[in-house]
Structure 1
Amino acid sequence: MSLLDDKFTILSEEPSQGFLHTYQVQTLEGLKGHLYWFEVHSPEARTAFHRYKNAIRRLENQGFLPQGVLVSANPGRYYVFWPEQPKAAPKPRRLKPILELLEPFGYQESDLEATEVSGRPLVGRLYPQLAPASTSSSRSEQNPQTPPLPIDPSTVRPQEPSPRIEMPHKPTPHAHPETKARAPQRLHLGSWPGWLPGLLMLALGSLALWQAANRYLNPPEYVLPDLVGKTPRQALEAVHAYGLKVEFAEGSDVSLPKDQILEQTPDPGTRVKPGRRLELVVNKPRLGSVPTVSGRSLEDARQALEAAGYRVATITRIASGDTADTVLASIPSEGQPLRPGEGVRLLVSTGTRPPVRETLLPDLTGLTEEEARYILTVAELQAQVVQVASGAPDGLVVGQEPGPGVVLPREAVVRVLVAAQP
């Protein structure tokens, strides 16, 4: 069977919808559920995934998600896993807080499967949307204008003519024979300093108004630079003059430095106008810690490490009075931080108790000096480190005296040959 992200076994696959692939999967621990896999190779796919992811984060912050929901936003691994939930149908009024949280993201009641755990409504599964929710129609379309009501002629009263008022005739005054018509005033050019500043301010205001209207109707376009690999501060300084709405999201890539931009949407080289949304994914690597495996059986320890995202690197067996295949210690020890996917070395009991005051010398070749000292201390032996010229990496054990498998008395000295550059 095929594996997704080395964690999920594909049980069945539904028909793909563009960049969205839907699978019914089973985890390595036997947990079944649905997995939505996004092929993020276009701005539309990035927008759909991040809108879906942000809606799930909002539900998680408010406590409306069940246990086991997994969201991955790592480069090349964009998916969400929903474990199967018991069938339950909460009352519609109890779903109101959930629907209010999802409303800004365009999700409705038909986009989710609800369930109940301990009397609390939860979202058992949220179906992704391939495109943003369509905007509602204008108010005029929803409420068309009501046609005028028909007029009943019986209710209309005829309008009575208004009485005509006769104004007394006023004789027209006669012009005095000595009165002369006043000539219109002329604007003398000698008064131009008074009206020139006003004319200049009018011209400047008209120019500013024209520039503002032109900028509003024809906003400038900018070409987005490549911001991947920069810090958030450097990215903000690079697009400060563009007037964009910059939003940040978190991603995790332990192989890259912290607070480094992993992705950007839209892609570099895209022509954008002021007001466009720019989403930047900032690296926040999440380091786990080695779980407690000492005292467990080898199989239980292996499952615990795999559940925590680690693997068993090597197994060193020594004689001990503990039950066979019981883990005595781990390298690194429990609680130590470790990158996901790294290997953990286990020190395991053979189940045979050595003779009194004697112990079986394990194989130390290939370990580091620190690891060899640790194993000899557990075996109650003393280490005598001798550096020898070798082409192996510095600090790597290339030999031991006596060899592995020799029975030695407790507190005996073992020569550990450690590589050093000639």
Structure 2
Amino acid sequence: PEHLVMPDLRGLTLDEASGRLDGLPVTVSDIRSEADRRLPFGEILRQTPAFGTRIPGGSAVALVVNNPETGLVMPAKSLTALTWIPVDVPEGFSNRHLRVVTDVFGLDLDYINTYVKPGKNINLLIPGGIKTKIRIFIDHRLVAVKTIDPWNSDTTSESWTGHFYTGDYLWE
């Protein structure tokens, strides 16, 4: 069997750690949270097997991630998951200004900021493994806010990623 030396994942975000493990013959089996207010949230605090350990291919890797709440469990599939959110732009006579702002790690990023044809359906793909707050604006009016939290399965299940309406109906 193929052996490898376990890379150092401490101090990386889950996304960075997932990238570092991508292509290696290992699987992430367990992701747990622990609170350490001295370090940035989202940073990996510990890993098993430890950095530098020689491990056989196919080994399972467990991660402990810094989070405000201790004792939470994140499904390993969240690392590679994408959340699909369809946005229906309301009908009208002229193009609508659509702005989607994502808040990741307290940093607002414009996901979309453009004019679109009325009645058009826009599909958003939001990466998993990162707590993300999504704000949808149509014609400079906030029409919906939603938080995707990989530590909370209620916000990553298919039950709420169904159809996302803006305009007359707010996303529930």
* Length-normalised TM-score, structure 2: 0.38
1 or 2 for the larger relative contact order (CA 8 Å, sep ≥6)? 2
Structure with the greater alpha carbon radius of gyration: 1
* Length-normalised TM-score, structure 1: 0.16
Q: Which has the higher strand share?
A: 2
